[in-house]
Structure 1
Amino acid sequence: MISVEDAFKRIVETTKPLTTEKIVLEKASGRVLAAPLTARRTQPGADMSAMDGYAVKSSSLTGKPTTLKLIGESAAGSPFPSACGDGEVVRIFTGGIVPEGADQVVVQEDCTAEADSVTTAIGPEAGRHIRLAGIDFAVKQIVLDQGTYISPKSIGLAASAGYDHLMVHRAPKVAILATGDELVPPGKKDFEPFETVNSTAPQISALLSDAGAEVTILGQTGDDLKALKAAVKKAAGADVLITIGGASVGDKDFMQQALASEGMALDFWKVAMRPGKPLIFGTMGQTKVLGLPGNPVSAFVCALLFARPLVDQMMGRPAPLPTGVSLPLAADLAENGPRQHYMRARLVGEPGSRHLDPAVAQDSSLVSVLAQCDGLIVREPNAPVTKAGTMVPFLPF
């Protein structure tokens, strides 16, 4: 049995990012940039007006009513073709290029316009209401760093910088296989007392899909070695195979045997943690294999600690061992045993004075408790009695 830290090193830290691919910009959300993105243009490309008004040489303004000659117009996409001289103004709209010679924009509310002249009492203030060229970014400037998680906001920046395709790390293909004679699909019409709904596969699928993985649920199979072997074969081509159930050593736990028969090289299968002790990890060709426990909370905790960081690592994102934040306890905790304990807890109190209220029931089968909680308190092995008010690590989920 190995520690959580050792398990994380073997699963995540030894994994390299996947190969890269070039994809169309609008499909890149959720992916990770494989190389720095350097702007192909300057934005804005010229000095532009930030307001509707009149472009003028600031030296033409006196702070007293002054009448200036109106010589033309500059609108977004239609610049004024000539220079603005002394005693002249150019009608300008937001986004219009400031004409040569002008260095100030007077807003239209501060002007009285006639057919061929404009009067204003505004004083000189060079640069007023002007967006200077390059204030957003300049050509050849790095606008997105390698490793950036692409989101709608960064897609807008990439487009503005002149890109319609991005070079990103390939999203890992994750196959999920649930096992157990007792499992039935969530949509079954009627349920027998001996049946258990396969709730873990869609839960883990959502967790890893949100991280950017391309997830396929292979379905579920019973506790039969032949059927398990056939199901494992369906994961061919996956970067990660996640199995749920059968990871222990009971008479019906055939998962290790099925994986070994398909060529998996076992790294380890026990971790000093609870919930989640019977965790299988190995490699099957180019496929990483994570065998999660069958209890839904155990599987979720293992996926949170190991599977999601593994996806991050494969996509090129930094993937440190989740350590969480420190928050105070709302209740005493008894001493811990020899395994690292991840306890479900709720956040209580007002924002700015949050405390952690550990769930009374910590059984690893209780999905209702998991759904009602906000994260996990992390307790070190053999931790002593911990009093309310003590700061402890908390992993939000």
Structure 2
Amino acid sequence: MSLLPVAEAQVRLLASVAPVAAETLPIGAALGRWAAEPVIAARTQPAADLSAMDGYAIRFADLPGPWRVIGESAAGRPFDGTIGAGEAARIFTGAAMPKGADTVMVQEEAGRDGDRLTLDGEGPLALGRNTRRRGLDFSAGDVLIEAGARLTAARLAVAATGGVGAVTVRRPVRVAIAATGDELVEPGTPASDTALPESNRLLLRSLLADSPVEIVDLGILPDRLDALTEAFRDVQADLLVTTGGASVGDHDLVRPALEAAGAQIDFWRIALRPGKPMMAGRRGQMLVLGLPGNPVSAFVTAILFVKPVVAALAGAHNPLPRTTRAILGEDLPANGPRTDYMRAALTDGRVSVSGIQDSSMLLTLARSDCLVIREPHAPPAAAGESAEILMIA
């Protein structure tokens, strides 16, 4: 069986994902969700012409003055009168422009003696200077947030300013997580030399902590076909993620157990290092991802596949991780036939591959903050060249 390229596997997998059902939340409870429909402004911002500076509201045509100060406008306390020829109003940043005024002379360029105001500097150079016109930011009816965009702090702020009190988002994604292997024990419990503390469930929960998910922890499942089949048949979730047992050994029972539980495997084995023996499929409406048991491989496949699938289920229009570029701090050898994600550290814009790259080296991963991406059959790369990287911390 040929190995599926990483990009093709991602496209194929995400093409099968439909977002979960929508719900409406108060805007204060929607951080981190993805908008299920466009968020529309209910008001214009600013709703009136405002001053952008502390100073004096004047008519530009009256320059170079002098003026008579006839009132004051502050935020929330506008001047109710009208500015006529040769008149001005004291004004503060964010205050409404009085009727008749069209420009603000900043206070640093103003001289005042009682109600008499004079120009003491260059003054405003154009009509409307130092003002913010009504609708400068947006107008009622404008789209503030596109459907499929993540609701960040800035986007929630603009929605709130737009008079929006509630938003439509996708409900939390229900993710079931199971680790498989007779050698596994819970972290912190006494273990023999042949036992291994199980870390993948913690790893996956941590990677999904910033996503709108409801985790169903299936625990550690034994290497028995009947137990695995029963667990996979009974689980109710949007996404089932297993770790371990995804290869071809006598004790790698995840695939046959999934198939016995009614799942159909779409693809298996990716042209990826680390993480080749990953599988993807579906049982009814539930998506299934079988990750390798090696924690480093589980981490990389979770970054490339699990998090994007969760984001797509949650309504993201662009769920794939974004890469960037950095300068290599060292030479790298030619790559083999699989896309290689090399653990690395980024310092002052230069990236250095970290420690031993064997997939068993979890400490190397813990000391890394990015992955250097090496395409299949990439030629040797020299220090100083640009490299594609994926930030992981």
1:284-333: CA deviation from partner (whole Å, max 9, x where unpaired): 11110001110001111111121122223223334476683455544444
Is 1:159 equivalent to 2:160 in the alignment?
A: yes
Unaligned regions of 5+ residues in structure 1, if any? none
Residue from 61, 64, 77 that aligns with 1:62:
64
Is 1:28 equivalent to 2:23 in the alignment?
A: no
Question: Is contact 2:104-2:124 (8 Å) kept?
Answer: no
The offset of 1:392, in angstroms, is: 4.4
Match of 2:102 in 1: 103
Hey, what's the Cα distance between the residues in 1 that align with 2:88 and 2:131? 15
Secondary structure of the equivalent of 1:9? helix
Is 1:228 equivalent to 2:210 in the alignment?
A: no
Unaligned regions of 5+ residues in structure 2, if any? none
1:48-92: CA deviation from partner (whole Å, max 9, x where unpaired): 1223333233334435xx35152x332222222221222333333
Question: Is contact 1:73-1:80 (8 Å) kept?
Answer: yes
- Relative to the length of structure 2, the TM-score reads 0.87
The offset of 1:5, in angstroms, is: 3.4
Query: Any residues of structure 2 matched to 1:264-303 within 5 Å, and which?
Result: 264-303=263-302
Match of 1:49 in 2: 51
Q: What is the alpha-carbon root mean square deviation over aligned residues? A: 2.7
CA 1:58–1:275 in 2, change beyond 3 Å: closer, same or farther? closer
Query: Any residues of structure 2 matched to 1:168-247 within 5 Å, and which?
Result: 168-188=169-189, 190-233=190-233, 235-236=235-236, 238-247=237-246
The offset of 1:158, in angstroms, is: 0.5
Match of 1:366 in 2: 361
CA 1:321–1:50 in 2, change beyond 3 Å: closer, same or farther? closer
Q: Which amino acid aligns with 1:119?
A: L
Secondary structure of the equivalent of 1:227? helix
Question: Is contact 2:311-2:319 (8 Å) kept?
Answer: no
CA 1:129–1:365 in 2, change beyond 3 Å: closer, same or farther? same
Residue from 10, 13, 17 that aligns with 1:11:
13
The offset of 1:253, in angstroms, is: 2.4
Hey, what's the Cα distance between the residues in 2 that align with 1:148 and 1:60? 48
The offset of 1:160, in angstroms, is: 0.9
Q: Which amino acid aligns with 1:223?
A: D
Q: Which amino acid aligns with 1:342?
A: Y
Q: Which amino acid aligns with 2:195?
A: E
CA 1:346–1:60 in 2, change beyond 3 Å: closer, same or farther? closer
Question: Is contact 1:218-1:234 (8 Å) kept?
Answer: no
CA 1:396–1:94 in 2, change beyond 3 Å: closer, same or farther? closer
Match of 2:112 in 1: 112
1:2-53: CA deviation from partner (whole Å, max 9, x where unpaired): 3123322331233233333222111111122233333221111111122333
Match of 1:395 in 2: 390
Hey, what's the Cα distance between the residues in 1 that align with 2:390 and 2:275? 16
Q: Percent identity?
A: 44
The offset of 1:390, in angstroms, is: 5.1
CA 1:9–1:97 in 2, change beyond 3 Å: closer, same or farther? closer
- Relative to the length of structure 1, the TM-score reads 0.86
